[in-house]
Amino acid sequence: MTLGEVLGAGTALLKAASFPIPQEAQSEPAPALDAALLLASVLKTDRTGLILREAEPVSAGELQQYTRLLERRLQGECVAWILGYKEFWGLSFTVSPEVLVPRPDTETLVEAGLAVIDRLPATEPCTLLDLCTGSGAVAIALKHERPGIEVYASDISPAALAVAKGNGARLLPKPGMYTIESDLFHRITGRFHIITANPPYVPSAVIPTLALEVRREPRLSLDGGADGLDLIRRILVQAKAHLYPGGTLLMEADPGQMQAITELLRNHGYRPITRIPDLSGMPRVITAGFTGSDS
Ligand code: GLN
């Protein structure tokens, strides 16, 4: 069989499998992309390489390896886990079952963070704390784009932090970013110009309805309690002791939670408060200015 034929068969196989699509899914299943990424990894090439080598034969051994990967995908394992990495912000992040796989929509948080960094006076050093960092995707993307800022990344999970550390060491020039194992601000001292977070925000009762591959991700990175806002509430209260006046808090959340979060932020004296849409046009990130007043 030629490479093109093998890819066609792999795509057809994944297309025919009926993965349940949950309401909350942030992206549609993409059988052609999944089939191509898996085949490219077997043939140690990329998607462009597949196109160039379309007419070449695939050996029996390679076909067998590919079939094994397709089977894992059919069992509901996500492609990022099978490959061990996920592209985010043009960078290749190592992922493991200990961390949430970085989602394309979370690039909205990076974009919003960059806009805030760029509004700070260039003469002032900028310190940034990324809470619930997981794989380190947000912290590393920001530091990669703006190497002059000082970035701290924290997570409650030592296993997740080890993944973040590894990604930081691989993707950033030294000294890179600093990592801190901490339950939100518990072990954080000092103040920052910017605090970012993609905390768990899925309501507990929604978790069993998520796609199998999402349910296999760490519950710690998804479960935000009864209304999904447990961590967000703690963050916006405690962040006031860790932001400089004029600093900004940026959080990712579900579009349906934006109104409630806006009210919480307003009640805690944050302003201005803005919502930023994700790739599908839904508000996904909320930014809040800390005025320095504690009301
Ligand atoms: N948006 C994520 C999802 O795919 C949830 C991520 C989170 O809770 N931070 O379900």
Ligand 1 pocket, residue 204 CB under 6 Å: no
- Of the listed ranges 74-83, 127-136, 165-174, 263-272, the least confidently predicted one is 74-83
Question: Is 180 or 295 the better-scoring residue by pLDDT?
Answer: 180
User: How far is CA 19 from its chain centroid?
Assistant: 22
Ligand 1 atom at minimal distance to the Cα of residue 132: 9
**pLDDT band at 26; cut points 50, 70, 90:** very low
Ligand 1 pocket, residue 200 CB under 6 Å: yes
Total-model pTM: 0.91
Instruction: Give the burial class of 199: count Cβ atoms within 10 A of its Cβ; 0-12 exposed, 13-18 middle, 19 or more buried.
Output: buried
pLDDT, one tens digit per residue, over 270-279 is: 999 999 999 8
**Residue 10 near residue 66, CB atoms below 8 Å:** yes
In this structure, what token pair is assigned to residue 284?
Answer: 């996904």
Ligand 1 pocket, residue 94 CB under 6 Å: no
Ligand 1 atom at minimal distance to the Cα of residue 198: 9
Burial 100-133, CB ≥16 within 10 A → b, else e? bbbbebbbbbbebbeebbeebeeeeebbbbbbbb
Domains of the chain: 3-75 (1.10.8), 99-290 (3.40.50.150)
Ligand 1 pocket, residue 222 CB under 6 Å: yes
pLDDT, one tens digit per residue, over 217-238 is: 999 999 999 999 999 999 999 9
Residue 293 confidence (pLDDT) = 72
Ligand 1 pocket, residue 248 CB under 6 Å: no
User: How many angstroms separate the alpha carbon of residue 77 from the centre of ligand 1?
Assistant: 17
pLDDT at 95 over 70: yes
CB atoms within 10 A of CB 64: 10
In this structure, what token pair is assigned to residue 160?
Answer: 């997740």
Ligand 1 pocket, residue 132 CB under 6 Å: no
